[in-house]
Amino acid sequence: MKLVPIEKRSGLTREEFIENYLKPSRPVVFTDLMKDWPAMEKWTFDWLRENHGQIEVPLVDNHVHDADKYFQTAKTMKFGDYLSAIEAGPTDLRLFLFDIFKKAPSLEKDIIFPTIMDGFLKSYKFVFFGGQGAITNLHYDMDCSNVFLTQFHTRKQVILFAPEDSARLYHHPYTVMSKVNPIDPDYEKFPALKGLTGYETTLMHGETIFIPSLWWHYIRYVDGGFSLALRANNSVFTAVRGGMNIVRHTFVDKSMTKIFGLGWQHWKEKQAVEKAQHLV
């Protein structure tokens, strides 16, 4: 497996972005897209803890995708206490896909939706917090939106793969998940990974990565920190596909997981291996 750097751009215009990145579905890192956000300097650990530390937050851990704990909350705690925990050192507890603006509406004035493209979903703004070394397993987003992920203060490693590599990534049917670890690939278990090309970057404070619709992503917290994701949709077809994904997840995968547990998980793994065999 080869990982090549994702291009970083400053001063990218709307026209350049649409022609060179959005239309061809090509990732890019903006170094200055959100430079005018008040949140860029305002949202420090100390400020968030002092002003919003009493919010109760639901946390997940590395078992979030296990068949017997599928997307279950591992524990809840005060936001301020959680911020102190991820500042203190490594932890696998993550605040995942959390709409903090519902708990603290005043934060909305600290961000500005960009005009780099149309179709931003203004009701879907999510924060992601994690401790040093925490990971988000390889997946693509269920709703199939384009994602603009902005990093605050610390570093986050992001690895992407194109949608056409889904079979080579051992995509589990009825899900948007893969069990492949692109940082330490197991070629014996997943031989189709050989020769695969991925795209990698480390996001710094104030940088925003554009993750095109349907692109796979794996995320590692280099430091304990946080980011904010905005979503945008430029195609009715991807919106329909996202709706189908949600139906499959809600009515098929969750139901079969509840009924068959690990047996369903093993069947999905077997199917993923069979689909990748012709690529070896």
pLDDT digits (tens, 9 = 90+) for 206-233: 999 999 999 999 999 999 999 999 999 9
Per the CB < 8 A criterion, the answer to whether 173 and 271 are in contact is: yes
pTM: 0.94
Question: What is the average per-residue pLDDT within 163-192?
Answer: 96
| pLDDT exceeds cutoff 60 at 67 | no
Give Cβ neighbours of residue 192 (< 8 Å, ≥ 6 apart).
167, 168, 170, 276, 277, 279, 280
* Confidence at residue 238, expressed as pLDDT on a 0 to 100 scale: 83
The model's pLDDT over 114-169, given as tens digits with 9 standing for 90+, comes to 999 999 999 999 999 999 999 999 999 999 999 999 999 999 999 999 999 999 99
Question: What is the average per-residue pLDDT within 251-277?
Answer: 91
CATH class of 2-279: mainly beta
* Confidence at residue 280, expressed as pLDDT on a 0 to 100 scale: 84
Question: What is the average per-residue pLDDT within 68-97?
Answer: 87
